[in-house]
Amino acid sequence: MTRYEIPPEVYDWWLRDFNLRQSYPYVDKGNPFHPATNKSIVDLYNEIVQPVPLLKLSKATINAPPLTFKKSLDIAFILYGVGYCGGVKAAYRMANDLIERGHRVTLYGAGEEFRYGCKALFVPDVSSMRYDHDAYLATYYLTAPVLHAMPVPPEKKFYLLQHWEAKWAGEENDVTNTYKLPLFKIAVSDWVKENTGADVVIHPTFYYEGFGSKGPKNLDVMFLRQDSWWKNPILGLAVCTELRGLDYKVAPVHHVSDSFLKDVYSRSRIFLFTSVMEGMPAPPLEAMLSGCVLVTTDMGGIREYADEDCAVFVKDDKDEIIKTIIALLEDDKAMSRLAIAGQQRALKFIKDIDDNSINKLEFLFKGGWMAFKEDCARNERLYPEWISPGTYREHACRYEWAREFCIEKSVLDVGCGCGYGSDILGAVALKVDGIEVAELPHKYATMKWSKFNVMFKQSSVFDYDPPFKYDTVVAFEVMEHTEDGKAFIEKCASFLKDFGTLLLSIPPKALSRSVYHKSEYTVDEIRELLKPEFYIEKEYVQYPDNQLTYIPPAASYPERDDLPSYLFVARKVSDPND
């Protein structure tokens, strides 16, 4: 058996719980054939991992006409099950947001009785799914193989990952295999992305209307009981039972209406959350929005919007949680500070979601991912998915080398391109801001790499207005794309604190200039340009094997025409005007 071969008994995993033989196409355990290609599901699974064909530059691709996007789309969501849980709520809100933008959305796999305010067209029978939709979104691991088997172009296939389902939803290998399917994977949080290998993070929107502090806080603790094991309801109920025995007013709620839930949120001082893992949990965010102080276990997607400034994190220990809650209830100053900070954080996070998430999703459904692919072919863009591993390593190794200069520093990545370098620096830096003048690489970087300490802005180096002075400025393979090297160096200096560090790389001056380069420089020319803004501390040369070698001051540079790059570590001279 090869690594990606799926044994026959695995067919059972998407026949459990629901009678998928009746509603899902191409899933017959005895004879599972794809009608268009006559391939079995095993054959289809064996095609999961294929090398991505590299796009070669040519005059035809460079001069290709700009991409155009359809204004209105016809989108299909594939649901599995109809329980009104957080994941279904997120899918419904996503559908409504797209409909408000003028798109048509069809939900396959759910009947009208489960509408809950969703404005989409409901089609219970998945086997009647049309093949002419503009985009298809699988919303659960059991729906991903169905979408994979459909005879529609791969650029139309998307997979929404709302949790690390391999740890709870089914057999771990079965679920993990769906992460390897050639579907474009959208994770709801950085935690889900890290554990599933998703392509981008798009935070889901939820129904937040009606939440808020509406009346007196006359309940001490609220606990929302949910029965899945990874929600850890036993721990929460044990805490509530003991607190109630100590005469605290406790509200453990379970299967209540939305209006009742909002009322309990608004009257509770503390919201207790005890889950073991979550993709991007909505209840804590709803509680923070309602003015509750969040007491939570430290797991999964909770860190997308909560930290120690606005929440209290506890271990999975009943006695510790009880002790923490009692101490909080007796400290009015801390309760007030945390409640206000939590509400402000929730409002900001929700606003960011509403402003950004649906724009990202719409861009992808309109062919944005293919636009990145075309941009890679048309321009000198380094999208990791569509360049060779060798080319990626040639560029990424510079950022890996640069990390030692960025530890716990504020960093500006000038000309960050597709953002992978900013992400590498973000692993050690306090904060990384990446600026990129081109629209598509900026969109890619924002969708793929944005996180709490890595942010991106579309701007040229000459137009950028920094919010503060940085400790380190990184400018790798950028200056040659500008016409005025002196002005570029002066701009980089203006972004830095006194004695801040500039990390500069530039390709050797070639015999014939690249079509993408507006200027090229020798080592001596770079040294002159760095004066008087900087003094050079060290110089390095990058060899074809991606080794970066220090060049002592008295040494000569190697006389080779295959060197990828020269690198300079320069220290800013104190500016008397600062």
- Per-residue pLDDT, 284: 93
**Residues linked to residue 404 through DSSP beta bridges, in sequence order:** none
Name the H helices within 202-297: 233-245, 258-267, 283-289
In CATH terms, the fold of domain 380-572 is: Rossmann fold (3.40.50)
In CATH terms, the fold of domain 8-201 is: Rossmann fold (3.40.50)
Phi/psi at 395 (nearest 5 deg)?
-90, -40
- Per-residue pLDDT, 373: 77
Check for a shared fold between 8-201 and 219-341: yes
Strand locations in 113-196 (E): 121-123, 135-138, 157-161, 184-187
pLDDT digits (tens, 9 = 90+) for 521-547: 888 899 999 988 899 999 999 988 888
Going by C-alpha positions, the residue among 455, 464, 536, 539 that lies closest to residue 495 is 464
User: What is the average per-residue pLDDT within 379-404?
Assistant: 86
| pLDDT at residue 264 is higher than 60 | yes
pLDDT band at 308 (very low <50, low <70, confident <90, very high): very high
- The answer to whether the CB of 458 falls within 8 A of the CB of 437 is yes
Cα gap 239→224, rounded to integer Å: 12
The one-letter amino acid code at 577 reads N
Please name the CATH architecture into which domain 219-341 falls. Answer: 3-Layer(aba) Sandwich (3.40)
For the stretch 157-185, what's the b/e string if a residue is b when 16 or more beta carbons lie within 10 angstroms of its beta carbon? Answer: bbbbbbbbbbeebbeeebbbbbbebebbb
pLDDT digits (tens, 9 = 90+) for 408-427: 999 999 999 999 999 999 99
Cα gap 141→177, rounded to integer Å: 9
Average pLDDT value for the chain: 80
Cα gap 128→142, rounded to integer Å: 17
Question: Which residue would you say has higher pLDDT here, 490 or 83?
Answer: 490
Q: How is the chain split into domains, by residue range?
A: 8-201, 219-341, 380-572
For the stretch 71-107, what's the b/e string if a residue is b when 16 or more beta carbons lie within 10 angstroms of its beta carbon? Answer: eebebbbbbbbbeeebbbbbbbbbbbbbbeeebebbb
- The answer to whether the CB of 159 falls within 8 A of the CB of 131 is no
Location of structure tokens 């899918």: 91
For the stretch 518-543, what's the b/e string if a residue is b when 16 or more beta carbons lie within 10 angstroms of its beta carbon? Answer: ebbbebeebeebbeebbebeebbbbe
Which distant-in-sequence residues (6+ apart) come within 8 Å of 531 by Cβ? none
Instruction: With both helix axes pointing from N to C terminus, report the angle between 332-363 and 439-449 in degrees, rounded to the nearest 10.
Output: 130
Reported as type and span, the H/E element at residue 89 is helix 86-100
Cα gap 105→77, rounded to integer Å: 7
Tell me the torsion sign for CA atoms 296, 299, 304, 309: positive
Going by C-alpha positions, the residue among 209, 207, 188 that lies closest to residue 199 is 188
**Both structure tokens of 80:** 């599995």
User: What is the average per-residue pLDDT within 445-457?
Assistant: 87
- The answer to whether the CB of 220 falls within 8 A of the CB of 243 is yes
CA distances from residue 121 to 77, 78, 96, 109, 178 in whole angstroms, order as listed:
10, 12, 11, 11, 27
Question: Which residue would you say has higher pLDDT here, 167 or 429?
Answer: 429
Contacts within 8 Å (CB) and 24+ apart, 99-103:
101/358, 101/362, 102/71, 102/72, 103/72, 103/73, 103/74, 103/75, 103/362, 103/365
Sheet strands side by side (includes 311-314): 250-253, 219-224, 268-273, 293-297, 311-314
| pLDDT at residue 199 is higher than 90 | no
pLDDT digits (tens, 9 = 90+) for 216-252: 888 999 999 887 777 888 899 999 999 999 999 998 8
| pLDDT at residue 517 is higher than 90 | no
The one-letter amino acid code at 419 reads G
- The answer to whether the CB of 186 falls within 8 A of the CB of 199 is yes
- Chain-centre distance for alpha carbon 137: 17
- Per-residue pLDDT, 36: 37
pLDDT digits (tens, 9 = 90+) for 178-193: 888 889 899 988 888 8
